[in-house]
Amino acid sequence: MKKKKSLPGPYAALTKDARFEATYEVLIPDEGRVRPHRVPLQFETRESAEAWIFSQDGKEAIADILTGKTK
């Protein structure tokens, strides 16, 4: 039997968008997608992006993105 691989959790990474150079964005891996979802927010530091991931607002936004709800 194959073990089911679990996806990594949301993570912060440097943005690749030249308009927001030197900022961080939150990426959310999803089983049904090749690329992770991008949260439409920019953060000045990696620490602030990671703090947002674990905040109540971040948890709600991530759950909404993964279930397909939009605000």
Is residue 3 pLDDT above 80, yes or no? no
CA-based nearest residue to 40, from 18, 32, 49: 49
Query: Is the CB of residue 5 less than 8 Å from the CB of residue 21?
Result: no
Domain count, the chain: 1
Q: With respect to residue 42, please indicate whether it lies within any of the assigned structural domains.
A: yes
Q: With respect to residue 62, please indicate whether it lies within any of the assigned structural domains.
A: yes
pTM as predicted: 0.84
pLDDT in tens, 8-61: 899 999 999 999 999 999 999 998 889 999 999 999 999 999 999 999 999 999
Q: With respect to residue 27, please indicate whether it lies within any of the assigned structural domains.
A: yes
pLDDT band at 70 (very low <50, low <70, confident <90, very high): low
Q: With respect to residue 16, please indicate whether it lies within any of the assigned structural domains.
A: yes
User: Any residues with CB less than 8 A from the CB of 36 and at least 6 apart, and which?
Assistant: 27, 28, 29, 30
Instruction: Quote the domain boundaries for residue 54.
Output: 11-67
Q: With respect to residue 50, please indicate whether it lies within any of the assigned structural domains.
A: yes
Q: With respect to residue 35, please indicate whether it lies within any of the assigned structural domains.
A: yes
Q: How far apart are CA 41 and CA 13, in angstroms?
A: 12
Q: With respect to residue 24, please indicate whether it lies within any of the assigned structural domains.
A: yes
Q: How far is CA 23 from CA 18, 20, 29, 48, 63, in A?
A: 10, 6, 20, 11, 23
